[in-house]
Each structure stands twice: as structure tokens, then as C-alpha cells.
Structure 1
Amino acid sequence: MRLSRPARITLGALTIAVLIVVYVPLFVVLVNSFSTSQSLVWPPPGFTLEWWGTAFQNRGALSALWTSVQVASLATVISLVLGTLVAIALQRHSFFGRQSVSLLVILPIALPGIVTGIALNNAFRTILGLQLGFFTIVVAHATFCIVTVFNNVQARLRRTGTNLEEASADLGAGLWTTFRLVTFPQLRSALFAGGLLAFALSFDEIIVTTFTAGVGTTTLPIWIFQNLFRPNQAPVVNVIAVVLVVVSLVPIYIAQRIAGAERVPK
């Protein structure tokens, strides 16, 4: 499709405007992490590496970082297992209510985070009688991380079809052997990309976490929010925010590269 010159100019201007709105604030955070000022000011009066050293010696920030890594890792593992099983069940089998189940699986990612947080908070405390903490955060994150794995696996299963699996069955292989030698090798890159996206999604989540963390369990996004307006903490918060952006960006970039490589015709 060829666009007219005015349409190309308009589209280009809108694209640049959107990129400016999204990335200029991130650039400001990056620059302020090197600022000599102890508050959020612009432009910075000077530049220093002091806050980076301070941030990596901050026990509260390091503890919150480790908690976020643990939560994201466990939520990713749960999502990989359950998301894959659900995708295979819905894509390879026909049964009554299949479309409804598919909708229910995808729904958590579409719901506002505050609604999910309130619902899970009520379920954990009043229905299940659980104390909010590390376990409830992992379960809460897994509910929406499953969707990324589910979508990736389901899309791959649609593309690969069932010919190889049927050939494996015709040759006498059982369900587990067919999955191990035929289905799983076809899903590995989709699982890897889905797992990376799930980890990134969990690592920087704050809304649902706020409702399910309880007292005494602090993830990195919650630590940033709690310390943002404390005296003399702004530069350290900027440093941690930059680290959070980088940690979230790397898995997303790798997943995008994997998806892009698979679309290249051989």
C-alpha cells in the first residue's frame, strides 16, 4: 500500500510525537540518576556517580530487588507449565465450552489491574483465609503471566498443525513420547519468548502487587513508590528506576528478536 506524501508526513509526525511522549520522561529519569541534586530538578545542576554507588549499597533496595526476582521467576515457571497445558488442551482438543475457557484464560490480562488486585485481595483474605505475603504475590502474578505464555504457545500450535503429531502416533509413540520428541521441540522458542515476557511483566508490576503483598513483603516497584517522595531519596530512586527499565527491557528485546527471526522466510 502506497501512502500519499501528506499522509506519510502526518504519520511520521504522529509517530515522532508518540515516541517523544514515551521516551523523553525515561531520558529525564536516566539523566537525574547522575544529578548532584538530592531532589527532582531540571536541568541537573551537576553530574555525579555517587548515587549509583549509594543505590547498590542500599539494603532495602537490594532486598526488594531480590524479592522481585524470586517472585518473577516463580510466577514464570507456574505460567510456563499451566499456560502450555491450557494452550495444548484448547488447541488440540474439542469440547463443550472451549471458547468460554479460552476467554476466561485471557481475561485477567484485559481486566484493570486495580480490579484484579481487589478481587484477589478479597479472595485470599476472606475466602481462603490466607495471610498476604510472598506466596499471594506469586499466585497473583501467575494469574496474568499465564496469558503471555498461553498466547505464544497457542499461536505456535496453530502454525505447526497436527501432521507431525499424528505421524508420531501412527508410528506407535504414546502421548508423552510425542510431546517430548515432537511437540515440545516445536514449542521451545515460543516457550522461551513467552517466559521472558512473563518475567518482565511480573518484575515491574505494582498495582496487583500492592493489593496482594501485605505488610513486610516489598518488591522493587513498591520500594520505588514508597521512597519516591522521601527526603534525599529521589536520586537513589532514579537509579533503581533505570535498573528496573533495563531489567524489563532485556527480556522483551530478546523475545522480540526470537519472534522476528522466526518470521524470516527460509
Structure 2
Amino acid sequence: MVGLVLLYLPLALVVLNSFNASRTFGFPPSGFTLRWWAAAVGSEGALAALGTSVAVGLAATAVALVLGTMAAFAVQRFRFFGRRAVSVLLVLPITLPGIVTGIALNATFTSYLGLTLGFLTVVVGHATFCIVIVFNNVQARLRRLGGSFEEASADLGASTWQTFRFVTLPLMRGALVAGGLLAFALSFDEIVVTNFTAGPAVQTLPIWIFANLFRPNQAPVVNVVAAVLTIAAVVPVWIAQRLGGDPTSRV
């Protein structure tokens, strides 16, 4: 209980301060206002950064869904030399410190590949750890399902494509949506890897928040944006948990 209080009390204060009439955010609040919320809605910088974060998150999630799902099927449904090593290598990026991943990607993009940092490099950087989320979700679902449903479909004369379309995919849909939502949420609030892979022309919402955090005129708007992100973060997690049940119970 103490741990939950220490975790969620600061988040509650962030939401409370977004309505604080004072710029200094003293506690208790000197009054309540919606002025800062109106300022946040009219902030071109925040809205542009929001659009960039959404675009990057969607692109990284799409890449992660394709590659993560393919990797999960390969590891879980086939037996080949080095299968366990491949599984470890796929999970490794999310265990590495973000600054290590960021430095490695930055060196690869700029020094070895000669690329200019921009939107594409940010998407690739985010996809490296988003793949892990999708891979773990899909692999866990495949492990729970086993192969009995697919074998029964094949025994009834269905082709490989028919089995995938009418049996495997419906059973996997919840895991794919949950993995995609969690991957998007992870990409949306990433700042360390983004800082090393984004050029000066690309600014995601977390980068915008960090850049404006210590500017007195922008502090109230930053607090509103942080409050919105705090509330919005609950949605993908809740949906992912709802979709994480046993799919065979609905068959």
C-alpha cells in the first residue's frame, strides 16, 4: 500500500497542479482555473509534438507487429538450431539501458550508415524495443494455445492459409491488439532513445516537455500536458489487460 501511495500520489499532484491558478504551483493550490488547459490546447509547439509522437508511435507499432509476430511464430512453432539464442537476442533490447541503446543507434546511423537523423531513425529506434513487447505477447499466447486447434483444422482439410485466417488469427487477435497498444504506449513516452536518434527537425512530445520544463512561461502548459499523458496512459494498459484473457474460453 505504501508503495502504491508513493507511486500514484505524485501523479495525482501533477493532475491537481494542472488546475492550479498559480504559476509557482504551491501546495495547497491558491485557486483553480482552466486557463492553463486553454493555453495547452492553443500551443502550436505542443500540438505539433503530439502529432509527431502519434506518427512515430503508429509507425513503430506497425513495424513491431509485423516483425514481432513473425519472430514469435518462428520461435514457438518451429525447431531450429539457435532457437533459444534468437529468443534471448529478441528480448535483450528492452533490458539494456536506454542510453546504451541510444548511443549505439546514433553511432550506427551517423558514423557507419551515414544517415541524417530524422523521423525514420526515430521510428527504427523505437521499433527495436517495441518488437520485444509484441514478441512476448504473441509468444505467450501461442504457448498457451498449443497446436491442437491448428492440427484439428488441418485434419479437416483446411489449407495453411485457411487455418491461419479462420483459426490462428482469431485466437491471436487479442494478443496482437494488446501488444500493439502496449508498444504504442511505450513508444509514445520514450525520451532517452529519441534524444539520440532524432534530428533537430524532429520533436516528440516527451522531448518538447523536457525542453520547456524549466521555462517559467511554459511550466503551466507542460503541467497540463503531463496531466493529460498521465490520464491517457491508463487507457492502453486497461484495454491490454482486458484483452489478455484466455481466448479458448470463447471458442
Tell me, in whole angstroms, the C-alpha distance in 1 between the residues paired with 2:54 and 2:70.
24
- What is the percentage of aligned positions where both structures have the same residue? 62
Q: Which residue of 2 aligns with 1:262?
A: 246
Tell me, in whole angstroms, the C-alpha distance in 2 between the residues paired with 1:224 and 1:131.
24
Tell me, in whole angstroms, the C-alpha distance in 2 between the residues paired with 1:236 and 1:242.
10
Q: Which residue of 2 aligns with 1:8?
A: none
**What is the CA-CA distance between 1:264 and the residue it aligns to?**
11
Among candidates 181, 193, 198, match of residue 196 of structure 1: 181
Q: Which residue of 2 aligns with 1:218?
A: 203
Question: What whole-Å deviation, never above 9, does each CA across 1:229-250 have from its counterpart, x for those lacking one?
Answer: 0022111101000111122221
Matched, 1:84 2:69: yes
Tell me, in whole angstroms, the C-alpha distance in 1 between the residues paired with 2:202 and 2:159.
45
Deviates more, 1:42-51 or 1:167-176: 167-176
**What is the CA-CA distance between 1:258 and the residue it aligns to?**
2.0
Q: Which residue of 1 aligns with 2:31?
A: 46
Q: Which residue of 1 aligns with 2:101?
A: 116
Aligned AA (1:137)? V
Computed over aligned residues only, the root mean square deviation of the Cα atoms, in angstroms, reads 1.6
**What is the CA-CA distance between 1:128 and the residue it aligns to?**
1.3
Mark the runs of 5 or more structure 1 residues left unpaired by the alignment. 1-15
Q: Which residue of 2 aligns with 1:60?
A: 45
Q: Is the 8 A contact 2:171 2:247 kept in 1?
A: no
Mark the runs of 5 or more structure 2 residues left unpaired by the alignment. none
Q: How many aligned positions are there?
A: 250
What secondary structure does 1:84 align onto? helix
Q: Which residue of 2 aligns with 1:248?
A: 233
**What is the CA-CA distance between 1:107 and the residue it aligns to?**
0.5
Aligned AA (1:64)? A
Give the TM-score normalised by structure 1: 0.90
Give the TM-score normalised by structure 2: 0.95
**What is the CA-CA distance between 1:172 and the residue it aligns to?**
3.8
Tell me, in whole angstroms, the C-alpha distance in 2 between the residues paired with 1:170 and 1:182.
13
